[in-house]
Amino acid sequence: MFLKKVEISGFKSFANKTTLEFLPACNFNGEKKGCGITAIVGPNGSGKSNVADAISWAMGEQSMKNLRGKKSEDVIFSGSGKKARLGSAWATLYFDNSDKRIPLEFSEVAISRKLFRNGESEYLINDSRVRLIDVIDLLAKAGVGKESYCVVSQGMSDSVLSATPAERRSILEDAAGVKQYQIKKERAIRKLESTRNNLERAGDLIKEIKPHLRMLKRQAEKAQKGKEVAQELKEKQIKLFSYLWSKFESEKNNVSGEKNDLGAKMSNAQRQVDKLNDELSQESEKALDSKAQEEMEKRKQDLYQELNNLEKEMVIAEGRIEIEKERMEQQRIIETIPVDLGYVKSRLERVRQNQEKLINRLNSVEDLSELQGIKEFARAIQQELYDLYKDVGEGEVKIDRSASKVEGKDRIESLGKKQEELTGKISKCKSEIEKTEKNIEEEIEKDKQTREKFFQLERELYEKQKDL
């Protein structure tokens, strides 16, 4: 086994990737097999020591003093006038493992170390991430390491010559290949020491806790009992919840059934309510016919008013007929009066004036109650004519009476026709009034029935809503 190649990048003065290949110059028989690097020479400050530092650093060197630095990031290229500083540094050692001195199934073993400015570092063996202790153990098994004789720094030869027996023994153990076991022994001793210290601390804690053990035991018993009670309570709660759940499910099913029944009842009731609402709407429409009843009542009042007017006209016509008859009677009296015509004419003139007044009163009458007075006034005029007839006796007076006689008859006939016409109108009005009264009574009865039915439906609707 030998160091075959070294690759350095970003380590101290090696800003760019640098590869150094080491080949054996010749074998022990004196036969040359190839030219390799046997020594690295150069002026001071050219970086010769940095190559040895890179090899030690890759093998796990942790002491910054041995690496000639103060802190870990000092090994990273810090920059120059031509190149800026870098963020990481790495170095890789390639070992020829043809003789399998390194206990790995590879003919070549590459050990790498990377460091970043944030303080993170990585160790790799054949590009697989490992721990620092894994690298140290592997190199110790091969008889090499950061503290072995394979790396001899400046002044180390003097320290070997002046070494103590223990230091010389360590060098011999390293050369004999027992260094790895020594490392394991030291590690085991450290673990034993740490375990012994832990046992001592545990003993101190036991001594400190022992007085409290009795109280802690009682507390533990109470805690155990509390745990048992809690477990029992939990079981009881589970049983209770199970019972409540089953009861709830049963009640839920019952309520669901009742809900369905109520839903059916509500649907039925809703249909009945809708039916009642329809009937109420119909009855409301019928109730609107009350307006027609009001119009019929108004028509009835109008007919009564028309009847009163016709009766008034009838009375007036009768009065006029009586007056015309009296005039004809006057004419007949005039024709037969044998006494002084001047006296008779004066009295007849007065009668005519009274008749004119009577006609004016008839034309201006507005109330049927006034007709009684007019009739009495007409009777007074008739009585006066009768008295005049008695006074004059059976005297004969020659006058021209033919024209007035004919005119009186015509007026009587005209008034008779008008009387008949008024009588027909009065009969017709009475018939219409009777018919209207009958219709009004029928409508009133229908309205009464409608209202009763409406109130009945309202009561039924209220009862249905109350049931819901």
Tens-digit pLDDT profile for residues 352-380: 676 666 566 655 655 545 555 655 665 66
User: Where are the domains positioned within the chain?
Assistant: 2-146, 178-288, 290-464
Give whole-number Cα distances, 289 to 149, 280, 303, 408, 453, in Å.
131, 14, 21, 55, 15
CB contact at 8 A, 398 and 334: no
Q: Is the pTM here over 0.85, yes or no?
A: no
User: What pLDDT does residue 45 have?
Assistant: 79
The residue type found at 390 is K
- CA–CA–CA angle 125, 100, 168 (5° rounding): 85
Among 365, 260, 348, which Cα is nearest to 312's?
A: 365
Residues listed for the chain: 468
Contacts 24+ apart (CB under 8 A), 279-282: 279/457, 280/454, 280/457, 280/458, 280/461
d(Cα 362, Cα 319) in Å, to the nearest integer?
8
CB contact burial 109-129 (16+ within 10 A = b; e otherwise)? bbbbbbbbeeeeeebbbeeee
Q: State the DSSP code for 162.
A: T
Which is higher by pLDDT, 422 or 104?
104
Least confident of 8-22, 92-106, 340-354: 340-354
- Phi, psi (rounded to 5 degrees) for 40: -115, 120
**Across 444-448, average pLDDT:** 71
Arithmetic mean of pLDDT over the chain: 73
User: What pLDDT does residue 305 have?
Assistant: 72
Architecture of domain 2-146: 3-Layer(aba) Sandwich (3.40)
Percent of the chain with pLDDT over 90: 8
Tens-digit pLDDT profile for residues 310-342: 666 666 656 666 665 666 655 555 555 444 455
CA 107 to chain centre: 74
